[in-house]
Structure formats: C-alpha cells, structure tokens
C-alpha cells in the first residue's frame, strides 16, 4: 500500500513539473532584453559660407545647393557676408563652433579666407571651395566651372565679329581668383591679334566688387579717354556688362558695339534678345550645386572622394572638378538657357528685353 502511495505521489510531482515546463521552443533567455535602440544616424551638417547674394546667380546657387544637400539626407546652414571679409570670417567661425561636419565656402577675398581654412582644420573640419578658389591654404577640394575657358569663349565670340579694332576690357573684382582666370582666358585669345597689331586694348580695368555702378564708371572713363573710339567690349559678367552698356547708352553707342558678358542673368539674356549685348557665358548652376553637394556630403561622412584635376592655389595642388561653361548668343539661347529652365520664355521675351 505504502509503495503504491509513494508511486502515486511521485507521478503527481512529475505531472506538476511537466505542466510547468513549456516544451514548445527552446527559449534562450537573454539577459534583460533592453529594447534595441536603433540610433538614427545623425544627418551630417554642412556649413555654406557665401560671399554675397548681390548677383542673381547666387540666389540660384543658394536655393539649388540647399535642395541638393537636403535631397541627400543632410542638413545645410547658409550664411552670406555681402562682400565683407571680416563678416565672412566671423560667420565661418560661428559655423565651425556650431559643430558642422564640413564647410563649403564661396570666398569674397581669395587670400583673406585662407584664415578660415586654417581655423576649420584646427577643428578637424574639411573645407571645399565653391566656384571661387581660396588661395594659399591647405584647401581640401575646389569645384567650379572652367573659368579660363569662360574668358576664352567670350574673346572667341567677339574676335569672330571684330577681328580688328579697339577693345575695352571691363574686368571682375581683383579680390576674386575667377576674375584673374577669366582675364587669362581672354588675353590668351587676344594675344595673337595684339601681336599682329590688329587689336588694341585701349582700356583694361578691374571692377571693385563686380558692381554695375563701378563697371559703368569704368566704361565712362574708357569712352572719355578714347573719345569713344571703341569697337568691342568684353565685360567679366552680365552685371558689369549691364553697367558698361548703360554708359554706352548714355553716349549713344549702345547696340553698335559688340559686348560680351557671363552668367546668363535674366537682364543679360534680355539684352541679347534686344541686341544691346552680343553674348553671355552660361554656367548651368544645377550641375555645380549637385556636384558640390555630393562631394561635401560624402567627405562629411568620412568617405574618400577622388578628383582627376588639380589646381595650384599657391600652397598645394588642390583636388578639383572643373565643369564646362557654354557660350550663348541669340542663336542658341533657347536650346541652352531656356531648355534647362534657367529662364522661361515668358521671363525672357515677356519683358521684351530693354
Ligand atoms: C564670380 C563668378 C561669376 C560672377 C561673379 C560675381 O566669381 O564666377 O559667375 O557672378 O563672381 O559675383
């Protein structure tokens, strides 16, 4: 009897144990499973230090660059210094202290901004020069259009119309390395004509801060000092071309003298339609902003970026990307500037130029 009781008792214990044990999936009990916090990768932050928003094109650069960076899932903080070197330096310092991952800069003054590159590097931040080169600095990368080619396209277009005569060169800002590259391109094309005595450069002056007013004053001086004996004008961009053409107009010379510009500003394109300006050089800004955004975000994420061109900035051979500019006149205006939507037909023809 006793044995039977013990057996029944044992069976009972076994049954109870079995009931408590889950035989379905072997459970690996992990230590207290803290919910896995998937750390959202912080979006990289790009600082964009611009010289100015004075010219129409820079408004496009700002808008398109912001979109290109954000489309890549990154953030961008944009400041503009209105041509003030001290302000550009202090704005860049603020960006650097705010913990950006990379700085993109359009220098007002190619030399003065070397200090910004130095400060950024002290904070472990790389610097990419946008459109304009920073001179004499350990710059990490430079992305622009081929600015010497811009000058060549201008001079080729004008010498084709005026192979002999008196030329006026209205340069850009002496502080801007692009103005020097453009001038080199112009004079490389003019040189053989000058040596043959076919072309005389009767006036050649830089234009402070690229302003139309300073360009108009330069052109007034050129007209005065040559008694208006001028056969062609090459102006470094459409803003300065506009100033020069205003001076020509005031002296009753507009639309009689071929004038070259750059940037395909709306006013410049309208002057081409109206006939007071001969050509401009179109630089598809969306190509520049896309390229800089891709490279800046990649570098900010610590990725390696290779460049197959180098530009010497006086300190080093800076890895560079130089995009092709496009010469534009009345014949290809629609197939270039307007096809890209840089300006609409309504904008160009609506106002009917001048
Ligand atoms: C240059 C730029 C030109 C022109 C100019 C004035 O550096 O390449 O497109 O706009 O600045 O801002």
Residues 6+ apart with CB under 8 A from 120: 92, 96, 103, 126, 127
Say if CB 185 and CB 171 are below 8 A apart.
no
What is the distance in A from the centroid of ligand 1 to the CA of 56? Answer: 10
β-bridge partners, 170: 205, 235
Kindly state the tokens that stand for 30.
């992990």
Neighbours of 345 (CB within 10 A): 10
Residue 67: predicted pLDDT: 98
What is the distance in A from the centroid of ligand 1 to the CA of 237? Answer: 7
Parallel, antiparallel or unpaired: strands 326-328 and 280-282: antiparallel
pTM (predicted TM-score): 0.87
Residue 311: predicted pLDDT: 98
Given 3-state DSSP classes, what are the helix, strand and coil percentages for the chain, each rounded to the nearest 5? Answer: 45, 20, 40
Is the beta carbon of 132 within 6 A of some atom in ligand 1?
yes
d(CA 267, CA 250): 18
Residue 37: predicted pLDDT: 57
Is the beta carbon of 57 within 6 A of some atom in ligand 1?
yes
Residue 12: predicted pLDDT: 83
Which ligand 1 atom is at minimum distance from the Cα of 106? 7
Residue 1: predicted pLDDT: 66
Atom 7 of ligand 1, residue of closest alpha carbon: 178
d(CA 321, CA 75): 23
The label of the residue with tokens 């044995």 reads 3
Residue 8: predicted pLDDT: 83
Residue 16: predicted pLDDT: 74
- Residue ranges in the chain modelled with pLDDT below 70: 1, 18-40, 351-354
User: Whose CA is closest to 134, among 148, 116, 150?
Assistant: 116
**CA 13, chain centre distance (Å):** 82
Kindly state the tokens that stand for 117.
């590159």
Q: Which one of 172, 175, 236 would you pick to mutate in the ligand 1 pocket, going by the greatest count of ligand atoms within 8 A of its CB? A: 172
CA dist list (Å): 240 to 160, 165, 183, 292: 22, 21, 14, 27
User: Whose CA is closest to 273, among 213, 170, 350, 205?
Assistant: 350
Residue 2: predicted pLDDT: 73
Residue 38: predicted pLDDT: 55
């Amino acid at each position: 009897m006793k044995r039977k009781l013990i057996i029944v008792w044992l069976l009972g214990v076994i049954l109870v144990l079995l009931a408590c044990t889950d035989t379905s999936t072997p459970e690996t009990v992990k230590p207290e499973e803290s919910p896995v916090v998937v750390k959202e990768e912080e979006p990289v932050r790009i600082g964009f230090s611009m010289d100015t928003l004075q010219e129409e094109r820079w408004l496009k650069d700002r808008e398109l660059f912001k979109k290109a960076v954000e489309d890549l899932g990154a953030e961008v903080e944009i400041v503009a210094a209105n041509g003030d070197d001290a302000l550009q330096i202090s704005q860049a310092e603020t960006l650097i202290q705010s913990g950006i991952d990379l700085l993109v800069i359009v220098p007002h003054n190619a030399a003065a901004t070397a200090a910004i590159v130095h400060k950024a590097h002290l904070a472990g931040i790389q610097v990419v020069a946008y459109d304009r080169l920073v001179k004499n600095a350990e710059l990490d990368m430079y992305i622009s259009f081929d600015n010497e080619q811009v000058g060549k396209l201008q001079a080729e277009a004008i010498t084709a119309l005026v192979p002999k005569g008196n030329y006026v060169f209205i340069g850009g800002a002496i502080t801007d390395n692009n103005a020097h590259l453009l001038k080199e391109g112009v004079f490389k094309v003019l040189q053989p004509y000058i040596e043959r005595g076919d072309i005389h450069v009767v006036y050649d002056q830089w234009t402070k801060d690229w302003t139309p007013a300073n360009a108009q004053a330069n052109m007034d001086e050129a007209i005065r000092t040559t008694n208006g004996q001028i056969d062609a004008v090459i102006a470094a961009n459409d803003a300065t071309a506009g100033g020069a053409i205003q001076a020509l107009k005031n002296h009753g010379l507009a639309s009689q003298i071929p004038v070259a510009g750059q940037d395909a500003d709306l006013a410049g394109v309208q002057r081409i339609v109206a006939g007071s300006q001969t050509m401009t050089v179109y630089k598809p800004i969306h190509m520049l902003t896309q390229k800089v955004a891709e490279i800046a975000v990649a570098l900010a994420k610590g990725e390696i970026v290779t460049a197959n061109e180098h530009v010497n900035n006086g300190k080093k051979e800076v890895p560079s990307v130089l995009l092709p500019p496009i010469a534009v006149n009345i014949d290809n205006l629609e197939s270039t500037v307007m096809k890209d939507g840089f300006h609409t037909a309504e904008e160009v023809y609506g106002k009917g130029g001048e």
